[in-house]
Structure formats: structure tokens, C-alpha cells
Chains A and B, each alone.
Chain A
Amino acid sequence: MRLIRAIVRPECEEGIVKGLDSAGLGAMTKIGVFGQGRQKAKTETPVEWDEPLSRFDPVPKTMLMIIAQDDAVHTIVSVIMDAARTGKAGDGKIFVSSVEEVYSVRTGATGQ
């Protein structure tokens, strides 16, 4: 089992959800977050109110948390890559980390 955390543009979320749905991997949790990367939240396309101050404002992002089987990780990552890529700075990051155990609250079942 792996925990995939993808920090993406909020407007790309719909495409990711549709893509994962059609791959049959539609279960996920979504959190609104703020962040900045190496560019310190400077956008490549200047916004109208682009003042020096604006580069210190963290950019709103959506974090998707997905629990996946080891063999589905590659599919999920490539779906997110395709749907979230614009080629500009700020497309986001995907982190994959290990999970020891997963429990279902309703049934108490563990594992797969």
C-alpha cells in the first residue's frame, strides 16, 4: 500500500477526478492548502495586481490524498501528471510514501 499526496492547481482537480474515475480508481480525499515552491509563489503569467508584495503570498493549491495498491501507483501518478501539467511553474508535486496498515471504520477490516 502506498499513500500518494498530489499538490495540484485547484482548476486541474476536475480533470484528475475524471481521469481517475475512468481508470476505476476514484477514491480520494481533497484538502485545500496554500504553498510556495522554489519560485516563492511568483507566477509566470503576471496577474493584474502584480506588485512586489504578491510574491510573498502563498498560492492556493489542492492536495489530493489517495491510498493505492503498489501496482496502481504508476497508473495514478501518470493520470495526475497528464491532467495537471500545464508546463508552467506551479503545476505542483506528487509524493508517494509507504503505509503500514489501512482500516475501514465501517467494517473494521484491514489490508487490501
Chain B
Amino acid sequence: MKEVIAIIRPDKLGQTKVALAKSGAMGLTIIGAEGRGKQKGQEGRNRATGGLRLYRSQGFVQKILLMTVVDDADVEELIGKIISINRTGETGDGKIIVCPVDESYRISTGESGNSVIV
């Protein structure tokens, strides 16, 4: 099992949710977050303000953090989907982090192992 953490643009959340649901309805946790990257949150170009630079408090930009735990075999497909939907080519598209998961449990039944995530 692997934990996939994706930090994406808030306006891409709807599309991403639909695509992940169609691909087999994996469990998904969505957290509102703020983030900054190498550019310290100053987006080079912003479509909404017609190319004006944006300076926010300490350079933090609104982001959405998606967390899901999937089987090892599904990681590649999931990442491909997230990247294809969320890529705009501009800075601030986000990052995807893959972490190992040692154990997982379903609280309602107490079962553990791979059956928890399907």
C-alpha cells in the first residue's frame, strides 16, 4: 500500500474528484491548505487579474491537499490521471508525494490489510 498526497489548484478539484471516482471510487480525503514553492507563491502570471503579479501574505497561495491510500499496482495510473488533469504548464500546478504505508485498518470492522482500501 502507498499513500498518495497531491497538492493541487482549488479550481481543479471538481475535475479531479470526478476522474478519481470514475476510475474505481477510491477513498479520498480533501483538505484545504495553503502553500508556497520555489517561487515563494508569487505566480508569474494570473489569468483572473489579466497578468498582474500577485503578492500574498508571506507568499502563501490557496491549495487543495488530496490524500488517498491505494494498492501498489494502482499508483502509476492514479498519478498519471492527476497529472493529466491538473497540468496547466504554469508554475503552481502542485506536487504529488508517494509515501509507503505500513498498515491500515478499517475502523468499523477492525479488519486490516489490502481489503481496507478496496
User: Chain A: residues with CB nearer than 8 A to chain B?
Assistant: 3, 14, 17, 21, 26-31, 65, 67, 97-106, 108
Contact = CB atoms under 8 A, between A and B. Distances in A.
B89 A106 contact: yes
Contact of A100 (B82, B88, B91, B100): B100
Given A104-B93, A106-B91, A30 B60 contact: yes
B20 interface: no
- From DSSP, what is the main secondary structure of chain A's interface residues? strand
B64 to A, nearest CB: 10
Contacts of A105: 6, 8, 82-83, 86-87, 93-96
26 contacts: A17-B58, A21-B40, A26-B36, A26-B59, A27-B35, A27-B37, A29-B33, A29-B35, A29-B63, A29-B65, A31-B31, A65-B65, A98-B99, A98-B100, A99-B99, A101-B98, A102-B95, A102-B97, A102-B98, A103-B83, A105-B82, A105-B86, A105-B87, A105-B94, A105-B95, A106-B90
B60 to A, nearest CB: 6
B17 interface: no
Contact of A30 (B33, B89, B93, B99): B33
A108 B81 CA distance: 11
Nearest to A33: B31
Given A31-B65, A102-B98, 8 more contacts: A17-B58, A27-B37, A28-B35, A102-B97, A103-B79, A104-B95, A105-B87, A106-B88
